[in-house]
Amino acid sequence: MKHDINRDHFPPVIENIIILVIVMVIGHTLIEDLGTVYNWSHHTMSIILIAGFLFDLFFTMEFAARSLISHKENRFMFYIKYQRGWIDALSSIPLLLLVSGPGIIMLILGSESDTMGAGFFSILKTAKAIRVTRVLRLIRILKLFGKIQNTESAMTNRHMATISTISVVTLVIVLVITQYTPFARVGDLEDYRQKRITELSSLLNSSDNSEKRIEWIKTYVSRSTVNSDIIELKTRDGEIIFSNPDRENLIFKAYNSGKPFVIAEDFEIILSYYPAESEHAKSNMIIFLSILGTIFSFMFLYSRIFVQQITDPVYVMNKGFRNWDYNLAVKIDEHYQEEEVFELAKAFNQKWLPLKNQIRAFRQKKSGGQEKSSIKMDELF
C-alpha cells in the first residue's frame, strides 16, 4: 500500500504546538549544559531537571500517539522507516526511562537518603551508559528539521533531511564512541576520580601529621581553586579540616553517594565530580552547536545549491518532456557542464526541444493549423 510521506498524524494546530515544544527543548538542552558548566545552584538545576522530565514525557506520549494512529492505519512500519519514527523513539523513551526519570526519583528521595532505592538511583545517575544516553537529546534537532520544509520541492526536502540525519547521527555516534575510548573521552567520572585521588594522596600522604601540618593543609585546600571539588576533608579521628561553603550544592554531585572514603590512610574525604560533569557538558555543547551549524548550513546554503544544480534542471526537463507548450531550455552552468545532470540537460536542449518543435509543427500543419496535436506526452513516456 502506498502512503504519503508528508501526511501528518495530528491536526495542524497540534503539529504547530509540537514544533514550538521542539524549539523549547533545544533551548532547554543548551541551558542545562550551561548550568552544568557553571555549576548552578541545586534549586535551579532541579527546575531544569523537572522541565527535562516533562519534555521527555511529552515526546514519549507523542511517539506513542503517532505509533497508535499509524498502527490503526496499517502504516506503523512506514512511520518508523520513512517518516523517521525511529528518531521520535530514540529521542523520547530512553531519555525518560534512563535519564530524566531516575533524576526525578533522585530528586524526590534526596541524594543523601540512606534507603536502598536512593543508593541505586545515585549509582544509576553516574553510570557511563546513562551519561551517554543523554547524548540522544542532540538528535531532537532532527525533529525540528523534519517539520520545516525549506522549499516546495519534495525531492530537495527529502535529500536535505537525509543528509542532515546522516550528519547528525554520525556526530552523535562519534561523541558516544569517544566516551568509551580512553585517549579521547572527556569528563569521564572514573578517570577524574582516579586523577584526583592520586593528586590528593600526594598532597596528604606524609608521616608528619602535626597540628602545623594539618593547619597548612587546611589553608592550602581552602584557598586553592583546584580543590574546589572537595566537599569535606577530615582526619580518621573525625576532626574536620575543611568543609566546602558550597556543600549544599556539591553534595548532589558527590562520589559514593556523598559518603566519605579513606584517602592517604589518615584522612577521609567527600569528593564532588562536578568538574568532570562540566567538561562533559562542554563537549556536548560543542557537538550540539556543531549539529545546529551543520543543519542550518544545509537548510540555507546547500539546499540552494541543490535546487540550482539538481532540482531546477530536473523540473524544467520534466515539464518539457510532458508538456508540448513548455519549451524552456535548461540553464547550464559552464563550471559543471560535465556532470551527469547537465550532460542530460544539454541533450534535452540540443536534441529534444528541436525535435519536439518539429513534431508540434508537423502535427499543426497536418491538422491545418486549427487544432493542437492530440498526442499526449504521457503516451510517449
Query: For the segment 285-309, what is each residue's pLDDT rounded down to a tens digit?
Result: 988 888 888 888 888 889 889 999 9
Q: Is 173 contained in some domain?
A: yes
Whole-prediction pTM? 0.79
CA quadruple 90, 92, 94, 95: dihedral positive or negative? positive
Domains contained in the chain, number: 3
Same domain, 16 and 162: yes
Verify that 298 and 151 share a domain, yes or no.
yes
The answer as to whether 298 is a domain residue is: yes
Considering the domain architecture, whether residues 369 and 243 belong to the same structural domain is answered as no
The answer on 282 and 241 residing in a single domain is no
Encode pLDDT of 102-125 as tens digits: 888 888 876 444 444 445 455 555
Please state, in angstroms and as integers, the Cα–Cα distance from residue 170 to each residue in 159, 166, 287, 381, following that order: 16, 6, 11, 40
Asked if residue 315 is part of any domain, the answer here is no
Report residues of the chain scoring pLDDT below 70. 1-8, 110-129, 131, 145-151, 206-209, 368-381
Neighbours of 337 (CB within 10 A): 12
Are the beta carbons of 255 and 272 closer than 8 angstroms?
Answer: yes
Domain-embedded: residue 2: no
Same domain (yes/no): 139, 178: yes
pLDDT at 93: 93
Range of 356's domain?
323-380
Distance CA(62)–CA(4), nearest Å, equals 20
- Other CB atoms within 10 A of residue 303 CB: 21
Q: How many CB atoms lie within 10 A of CB 288?
A: 21
Query: What's the pLDDT at 339?
Result: 92
Same domain membership, residue 85 and residue 106: yes
91, with CB counted inside 10 A (0-12, 13-18, 19+), is buried
**Integer Cα distance of 107 and 46 in angstroms:** 7
* Same-domain status, 299 and 347: no
- Predicted confidence at residue 188, as pLDDT, reads 87
Residues 135 and 252 in one domain: no
* CA–CA separation, 128 and 38 (whole Å): 21
The answer to whether residue 3 sits within a structural domain is no
The amino acid sitting at 331 is: K
The predicted pLDDT at position 118 comes to: 47
**Do 143 and 194 fall within a single domain?**
no
Q: Do 180 and 193 belong to one domain?
A: no
Query: Do 89 and 165 share a domain, yes or no?
Result: yes
Other beta carbons less than 10 A from residue 227's beta carbon: 18
Interatomic CA distance for residues 141 and 293, integer angstroms? 11
Secondary structure class of 262 (helix, strand, coil): strand
Residue 254, beta-bridge partner list:
272
Residue whose cell numbers read 567538561: 279
- Please check whether residues 284 and 354 belong to one and the same domain: no
